[in-house]
């Protein structure tokens, strides 16, 4: 089985986007506020939105199930208030749940959190509980920078996050560290803001005692870990200078990387420096890079080809990357896959 641990609902039916436009317009003119009841999306609209998109790629590329979450750039936690973010997150998560109910063999849900800059994580805790206990979601996307590119909140290792982490551990779900859109013109969203955030989160974890406080807490750092694998020696050296234990002991029971790296040399490097036990297959389709690589004739995000092409991986290594590690990091998928 091949589990893709990172897919987004980037083909949402048009009424969802229309609702969001109205919700944002209502921040200036409350008379325009759309009611939730006005948002109507049929099962057929949902089927149409994924059957010739994410599901087509699953078939063509030979992957089985995608751990599926709302469009990451659409989370936009910096917009509006905590109430705006709560309503939007609940609607997006409910829609993911409907996709998973319609296609239980193809999709497993991961939720967006109703984070809002400068506010407590209480709403996020409640929404995580709702999604996991009532809708069978297996994880969440946690935004380390809900400001959208200004990084003026506390680092992921600050105690302000601890109540949320406690609940994650109790529910036995990991978080993918995932920023949203950038409203800082210095940082292109998918080309810079995402990769910066992945690298930043790793260094925050490295410099902290977070995993002494939460030995069972698990994070997936997407997009191949940002700049981390390429600079593995730097991070090993920094940990050593800080009198920390080796990376393996310090954080590799807690931090995992996905394979959303869109060329073979990147995946080759990753599998050389990051332990195989810490790499999870993912494509982030349909997402950041949609085109076809003229050098290979295949989609950049057809990441299965790269893993299949790494000559030194054993069958056991590939099985870990494709399936075993995802079952370990997202333990709740085991029950869902057994009943699908
Ligand atoms: Zn993503």
b/e burial code for range 170-184 (CB count within 10 A of at least 16 → b): ebebbbbbbbbbbeb
Residue 27 CA, ligand 1 centroid: distance in Å = 27
Residue 32 CA, ligand 1 centroid: distance in Å = 31
In this model, does residue 32 exceed pLDDT 90? no
Q: What is the average per-residue pLDDT within 233-246?
A: 98
pLDDT 10s digits, 205-226:
999 999 999 999 999 999 999 9
Helix (H, G, I), strand (E, B), or coil: what is residue 150? coil
Residue 333 CA, ligand 1 centroid: distance in Å = 19
pLDDT band at residue 21, thresholds of 50, 70 and 90? very high
Helix (H, G, I), strand (E, B), or coil: what is residue 69? strand
Which pLDDT value is given to residue 174?
Answer: 98
Residue 132 CA, ligand 1 centroid: distance in Å = 20
Give the residue among 160, 81, 79, 74 at the shortest CA–CA distance from 125: 160
pLDDT band at residue 93, thresholds of 50, 70 and 90? very high
| Average pLDDT, rounded, for the chain | 97
Is the separation of the CB atoms in 226 and 196 below 8 Å?
yes
Overall size of the chain counted in residues: 340
Which pLDDT value is given to residue 62?
Answer: 96
Rounded Cα distance between 287 and 289, Å, is: 6
Is the separation of the CB atoms in 6 and 283 below 8 Å?
yes
Is the separation of the CB atoms in 330 and 139 below 8 Å?
yes
Query: β-strand 219-221 against 255-258: which pairing, if any?
Result: parallel
Which pLDDT value is given to residue 339?
Answer: 84
Give the residue among 303, 263, 262 at the shortest CA–CA distance from 282: 303
Percentage of the chain exceeding pLDDT 70: 100
Residue 244 CA, ligand 1 centroid: distance in Å = 31
Q: What is the average per-residue pLDDT within 57-64?
A: 96
Residue 8 CA, ligand 1 centroid: distance in Å = 6
Rounded Cα distance between 31 and 61, Å, is: 47
Residue 23 CA, ligand 1 centroid: distance in Å = 23
Phi/psi at 241 (nearest 5 deg)?
-60, -35
Q: What is the average per-residue pLDDT within 18-27?
A: 96
Residue 30 CA, ligand 1 centroid: distance in Å = 32
The answer, yes or no, to whether the previous bond of 15 is cis (omega within 30 of 0) is no
pLDDT 10s digits, 147-192:
999 999 999 999 999 999 999 999 999 999 999 999 999 999 999 9
**Using CA of residue 332, residue 334, residue 336, residue 337, what is the dihedral sign?**
positive
Q: What is the average per-residue pLDDT within 75-102?
A: 98
In this model, does residue 340 exceed pLDDT 80? no
* Cα torsion through 217, 238, 149, 192, rounded to 10: -110
CB-side neighbour CA atoms (13 Å) of 116:
18
The DSSP annotation for 73-139 comes to HHH-TTSS-HHHHHHHHHHHHHHHHHHHHH-TTTEEE-EE----TTS-SHHHHHHHHIIIIIH----
- Cα-Cα end-to-end distance for the chain: 13
Among 12, 268, 284, 323, the one annotated catalytic:
284
pLDDT 10s digits, 108-147:
999 999 999 999 999 999 999 999 999 999 999 999 999 9
The reply to whether 284 belongs to the active site is yes
Residue 309 CA, ligand 1 centroid: distance in Å = 23
Give the pTM. Answer: 0.97
List C-alpha distances in Å: 103 to 155, 192, 221.
37, 33, 26
pLDDT 10s digits, 270-328:
999 999 999 999 999 998 899 999 999 999 999 999 999 999 999 999 999 999 999 99
């Amino acid at each position: 089985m091949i589990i893709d641990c990172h897919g987004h609902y980037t083909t949402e039916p048009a009424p969802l986007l229309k609702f969001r436009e109205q919700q944002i317009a209502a921040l200036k003119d409350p008379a325009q506020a759309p009611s939730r009841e006005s948002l109507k999306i049929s099962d057929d609209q949902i089927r149409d939105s994924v059957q010739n998109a994410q599901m087509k790629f699953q078939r063509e590329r030979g992957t089985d199930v995608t751990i599926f979450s709302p469009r990451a750039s659409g989370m936009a936690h910096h917009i509006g208030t905590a109430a705006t973010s709560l309503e939007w997150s609940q609607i997006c998560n409910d829609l993911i749940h409907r996709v998973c109910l319609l296609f239980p063999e193809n999709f497993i849900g991961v939720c967006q959190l109703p984070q809002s800059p400068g506010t407590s994580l209480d709403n996020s805790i409640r929404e995580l509980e709702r999604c996991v206990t009532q809708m069978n979601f297996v994880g969440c996307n946690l935004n380390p920078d809900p400001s959208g590119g200004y990084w003026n909140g506390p680092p992921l290792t600050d105690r302000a996050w601890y109540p949320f982490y406690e609940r994650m551990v109790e529910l036995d779900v990991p978080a993918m560290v995932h920023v949203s859109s950038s409203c800082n013109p210095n940082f292109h969203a998918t080309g810079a803001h995402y990769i910066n955030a992945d690298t930043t989160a790793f260094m925050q974890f490295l410099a902290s005692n977070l995993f002494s406080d939460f030995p069972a807490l698990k994070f997936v750092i997407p997009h191949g870990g940002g700049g981390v694998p390429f600079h593995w020696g730097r991070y090993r050296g920094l940990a050593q200078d800080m009198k920390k234990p080796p990376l393996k002991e310090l954080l590799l029971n807690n931090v995992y990387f996905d394979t959303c790296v869109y060329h073979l040399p990147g995946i080759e490097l990753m599998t050389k420096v990051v332990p195989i036990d810490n790499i999870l297959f993912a494509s982030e389709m349909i997402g950041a890079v949609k085109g076809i690589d003229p050098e290979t004739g295949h989609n950049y995000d057809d990441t299965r080809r790269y893993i299949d092409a790494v000559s030194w991986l054993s069958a056991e290594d590939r099985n870990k990357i494709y399936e075993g590690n995802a079952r370990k990091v997202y333990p709740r998928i085991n029950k869902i896959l057994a009943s699908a």
